[in-house]
A and B are shown apart, each in its own frame.
Chain A
Amino acid sequence: MRIMVRFKEEMISNPITSEVILEHGVPLNILWAKVESTGGELLLEIPDEKANEIVNSFRLRGVEVLTGRLIDVSEELCVKCGACYSLCPIDAIELRDGDVIFNEDLCIGCGLCVDACPTKAIKLLKVDRTLK
């Protein structure tokens, strides 16, 4: 599963992610990262079977962990025009015989599609970043 971990300013210098990797002996795939002097965010792919332990390890170290969907597509607003489809870097948006299908589980929350939606049907959830 995917989780978003959010570090506060005072945690930036601690090797928290490495500690968690060593503690559980599992690979964590970093899908996206932003680290600044005032804090940081990592989007991680973690093994499902160890998800609970890994989330707890982060939380014990004071790291905020967000789970669940990163994007919300309003059925009411979406007209299935497909403007978003070609912008998705990881094929989370599919065209199936003309229909536009969002695989919200695959979405890494990069936000590249958001400003291309003519009906503003796509919203990023929980994630706080400036997108360009």
Chain B
Amino acid sequence: MGEVEKLRDIPTINKKIKEGDIVVLTAEEFIELVENEGKVGKVAREVDVITTGTFGVMCSSGAVVNLGHSDPPIKIERAWINDVPVCHPGAAVDLYIGASKMSEIKPFEYGGGHVIEELVKGNEVELRATAYGTDCYPRTQLLTRLTKYDLNQFILLNFRNAYQKYVCAVNSSDETIYTYMGKLYPRIGNATFSGAGALNPLTRDPTYRSIGIGTRIFLGGGVGYVIGEGTQHNPKAGFGTLMVKGDAKKMKPEYIRGAAITGYGTSMFVGLGIPIPIIDMELARSAAKRDEDLITDIVDYGVPRRERPVLGKVSYAELKSGRIVVGEKTVKVSPLSSLPMARKIAMELKKWIEEGEFYLTEPVERLSTDTEYKPMKMVERVVYVGNIVRRAVKCREDESLEEVAERMIKNAVNHIVIVDDEDYLKGIVTSWDVTKAVAEKRRRLKEVIVRNVVTAYPTDTVEEAARRMKKYDISALPVVNMEKKVLGIVTAEDIAKLWGARMR
């Protein structure tokens, strides 16, 4: 491999910023220019810095606040801000407001992200706290109202932000699901994706040559710093993440927004942008990569397991077009992070640099390129539906209601699964359905069958099966394979027995 052509270093860039003759483009402008020129060389020699931006829901975010001491002083044990439980991980009056922590009064509507947004806005929030009382901190109860101006420190401290890329989510199951990837229609009725593609900071510098510990960034409309790799940093798979901090007192509410994701919980939109110095040709080439070159997986969120099936690959260019092809279907795909806001951040950061308000920094240490991302070590055995499935008592559609009733009594079951000659699922009949049919003087099985059947796969966890029974208010699920052939049945009674035995 030949020597990489060096173009400029950080001190040269900062000198040019100071002298007012720096050349800055947003990542999108840079890519467009390279495309127009046909090659990267000339453009890279002219452009000193490119700016990036992303504005997405980033759950692993939060803020550290220091309240100062009350009189008499308190060593807070439990605390709530606007009814959102906040964590007190340190000494007496240091708190951490987690973005995804939900209000105890309005869960799923209001959470830590909303509290942080209100504080950034300058609004007053209500703090409640309790403590056990010590000789040095005698107070046990506290109620006060605060704004950011009353706090000693209000620091945004996000332990996982700015995913290099993220997957595209679909749902192959038979019901609409509400996930952290948004609302997903059944039978792959739509798709969602996250990330700003070519505007995403880490996609421009995928081996972290210019972004490292100490990199000064745009964070929430103010200035922040990269303080290390983010949690779940997975560089080998192209899923790098960042840990960042910044003075939230100086942030702007437009770039820090509370979010409420139906069925999932609350979180926070974070606006983040990073300047990429075009230090050499290698970085210039990665910075010129287009959305067409950024590929991610289409993942089936209909399977509620850690290893969700991958259904295909897709580029960010296809994702941003609004429609993608999954198998034989063309479906609309929703971005979940805001491209207009990402653009605005990249433009804003460009302006800061051009106007000499923002200088670049040399990372004091580079981010790891070989961190392994491990799954959780488990000590408890997880029980799957396949472990407790029992033989289903079955019937054909053309049998009589009497035969069904007899079979229920003979086998002492409450559920009869209706199948065709090849064991494909056709419906279900419960003892309640039979009783009701008798009361209403209906005689034909066909009129009684429930055809819209909620099912389980043997690979579902028992917990998931229980959650579905509760959701639909039913007491059994036929267990089927992918082709809807009946393998057996799992009942609420079986699950109750299993859990009862475990507790003993």
Q: Give residues in A with beta carbon < 8 Å to B.
A: 79-88, 95, 98-100, 115-116, 118-120
Cβ of A88: which chain B residues have Cβ within 8 Å of it? Answer: 332
Interface residue from A99, A115, A119 paired with B339 (Cβ < 8 Å)? A99
> With contacts defined as CB atoms under 8 Å apart, how many contacts are there between chain A and chain B in the complex?
76
Most chain A Cβ neighbours within 10 Å, of B55, B183, B343: B183
Cβ of B183: which chain A residues have Cβ within 8 Å of it? Answer: 83, 87, 115-116
CB-based nearest A residue for B331: A86
Cβ of A118: which chain B residues have Cβ within 8 Å of it? Answer: 57, 259-261, 267, 269, 336
How long is the Cα–Cα vector from A84 to B336 in the complex, in angstroms?
9
Cβ contacts A to B, 21 pairs, < 8 Å: A79-B341, A80-B338, A80-B339, A80-B340, A80-B341, A81-B55, A81-B56, A81-B337, A82-B334, A82-B335, A83-B335, A85-B334, A85-B335, A87-B183, A88-B332, A98-B339, A98-B340, A115-B262, A116-B182, A118-B269, A120-B260
Q: Give residues in B with beta carbon < 8 Å to A.
A: 55-57, 109, 178, 182-183, 185, 190-192, 257-262, 267, 269, 320, 322, 331-341, 343
- What are the 10 tightest A-B residue pairs by CB atom distance, in nearest-first order? A98-B339, A86-B190, A86-B332, A86-B334, A118-B259, A116-B183, A95-B322, A82-B335, A115-B262, A80-B340
Shortest distance in angstroms between B66's beta carbon and chain A's nearest beta carbon? 29
**Helix, strand, loop or mixed for chain B's interface?**
strand
| B336 pairs with A81, CB closer than 8 A | yes
How long is the Cα–Cα vector from A88 to B258 in the complex, in angstroms?
24
Shortest distance in angstroms between B417's beta carbon and chain A's nearest beta carbon? 27
- With A79-B55, A98-B320 known as contacts, the answer to whether A85 contacts B332 (CB < 8 A) is yes
How long is the Cα–Cα vector from A119 to B109 in the complex, in angstroms?
9
How long is the Cα–Cα vector from A85 to B337 in the complex, in angstroms?
12
Cβ of B55: which chain A residues have Cβ within 8 Å of it? Answer: 79, 81
**Helix, strand, loop or mixed for chain A's interface?**
loop
Cβ of B262: which chain A residues have Cβ within 8 Å of it? Answer: 115-116
Shortest distance in angstroms between A81's beta carbon and chain B's nearest beta carbon? 5
Interface residue from A98, A115, A119, A120 paired with B335 (Cβ < 8 Å)? A98
| B338 pairs with A119, CB closer than 8 A | no
Cβ of A98: which chain B residues have Cβ within 8 Å of it? Answer: 320, 335, 339-340, 343
| A81 pairs with B190, CB closer than 8 A | no
Cβ of B334: which chain A residues have Cβ within 8 Å of it? Answer: 82-87
Cβ of B109: which chain A residues have Cβ within 8 Å of it? Answer: 120
Shortest distance in angstroms between B241's beta carbon and chain A's nearest beta carbon? 20
| A85 pairs with B322, CB closer than 8 A | yes
- With A95-B322, A118-B269, A119-B257 known as contacts, the answer to whether A81 contacts B338 (CB < 8 A) is yes
- With A115-B262, A118-B269 known as contacts, the answer to whether A83 contacts B322 (CB < 8 A) is no
Additional 8 contacts, C-beta under 8 A, given A81-B337, A98-B339, A118-B267: A79-B257, A81-B55, A81-B56, A81-B335, A82-B336, A86-B332, A98-B320, A116-B183
Shortest distance in angstroms between A68's beta carbon and chain B's nearest beta carbon? 27
How long is the Cα–Cα vector from A81 to B268 in the complex, in angstroms?
13
| A86 pairs with B257, CB closer than 8 A | no
CB-based nearest B residue for A84: B334
CB-based nearest B residue for A112: B183
Shortest distance in angstroms between A117's beta carbon and chain B's nearest beta carbon? 8
Cβ of B331: which chain A residues have Cβ within 8 Å of it? Answer: 86
Shortest distance in angstroms between A118's beta carbon and chain B's nearest beta carbon? 4
Cβ of B322: which chain A residues have Cβ within 8 Å of it? Answer: 85, 95
Cβ of B259: which chain A residues have Cβ within 8 Å of it? Answer: 118-119
Cβ of A81: which chain B residues have Cβ within 8 Å of it? Answer: 55-57, 269, 335-338
CB-based nearest B residue for A120: B260
Shortest distance in angstroms between B261's beta carbon and chain A's nearest beta carbon? 6
Cβ of A79: which chain B residues have Cβ within 8 Å of it? Answer: 55, 257, 269, 338, 341
Interface residue from B182, B339, B340 paired with A83 (Cβ < 8 Å)? B182
CB-based nearest A residue for B56: A81
Cβ of A100: which chain B residues have Cβ within 8 Å of it? Answer: 340
Shortest distance in angstroms between B454's beta carbon and chain A's nearest beta carbon? 15
Shortest distance in angstroms between A91's beta carbon and chain B's nearest beta carbon? 8
How long is the Cα–Cα vector from A91 to B339 in the complex, in angstroms?
19
Shortest distance in angstroms between A85's beta carbon and chain B's nearest beta carbon? 5
Cβ of A85: which chain B residues have Cβ within 8 Å of it? Answer: 322, 332, 334-335
How long is the Cα–Cα vector from A82 to B267 in the complex, in angstroms?
17
Cβ of A80: which chain B residues have Cβ within 8 Å of it? Answer: 338-341
| B190 pairs with A87, CB closer than 8 A | yes
| B191 pairs with A82, CB closer than 8 A | no
Cβ of B182: which chain A residues have Cβ within 8 Å of it? Answer: 83, 116
